[in-house]
Amino acid sequence: MADSKKKKGQNANGIKVLIIGLVLICLVAGYYYYLSNKRQKAMEETPAKATAVEEALSYNFERKYPPTPKEVVKLYCQMTQCFYNEEYTEEEFVQLALQVRNLYDDELIASKTENQYIEDLRWDVNQFRDQEIVISSYATSASTDVEEYTKGGFKWAKLYCSFTLRKGTYVDSTNEVFLLRKDDAGHWKIYGFKLADDEETRAYQ
């Protein structure tokens, strides 16, 4: 009789241990499933990083126009790099070309038809691509070196930008001078730009 009770007690204890073990296994499995789903959901909700072209195309000039001549030229350089360094569709090329024109003065825009502007830009980009040249970096004048003045009833600004060009392991640089004019809305617009040699610099003054 005692042996029978002892066996029943052992069986009960064994069942309890088994139940506890199953519960622990379920808890561990459930927690692992929860973590896996949480990680997967986080990955799905994390948006892919926009490309340089996508960022350029999504820039909202009405909401955030660059406040200074230097910032205008910097944004122009960032968008220009996209033409020469990035991959894009023909549609994106045209959209990017028109996006850049938001930085141009009305007189500069009026100097060419839209089709001529796009074709000239395409030709220039193709020249670089055919020679496998990219714009690896750029550097604008320091804010303190930006020359601002008033002439002909308009406010003007002049500054320089150095572009570093790379072809394979060969590196070269070119300097350009930018002339900007403030429009009626108070926005600095690119009036023109040329290679920054002495003669062309004097032509701006």
**Averaged confidence pLDDT in the chain:** 83
> 189: which residues sit within 8 A by CB, 6+ positions away?
72, 103, 104, 105, 106, 108, 180, 181, 182, 183
Model pLDDT for residues 45-97, shown as the tens digit of each residue: 555 688 999 999 999 999 999 999 999 999 999 999 999 999 999 999 999 99
Contact 71, 180 (CB under 8 A): no
Q: Are 182 and 189 in contact (CB under 8 A)?
A: yes
The mean pLDDT value for 172-197 works out to 94
Q: Is 64 helix (H, G, I), strand (E, B) or coil?
A: coil
Instruction: Give the pLDDT of residue 202.
Output: 40
Q: What is the pTM of this model?
A: 0.72
- Separation CA 55–CA 57 (nearest Å): 5
Rounded distance, CA 104 to CA 132, Å? 28
Position 44 scores a pLDDT of 53
Q: 167-181 in b/e burial notation, b at 16+ Cβ within 10 A?
A: eeeeeeeeebbbbbb
d(CA 135, CA 120): 18
- With pLDDT > 70 as the criterion, what percentage of the chain qualifies? 73
Question: Tell me: the pLDDT tens digits for 91-141?
Answer: 999 999 999 999 999 999 999 999 999 999 999 999 999 999 999 999 998
Distance CA(66)–CA(124), nearest Å, equals 26
Q: What is the pLDDT of residue 6?
A: 53
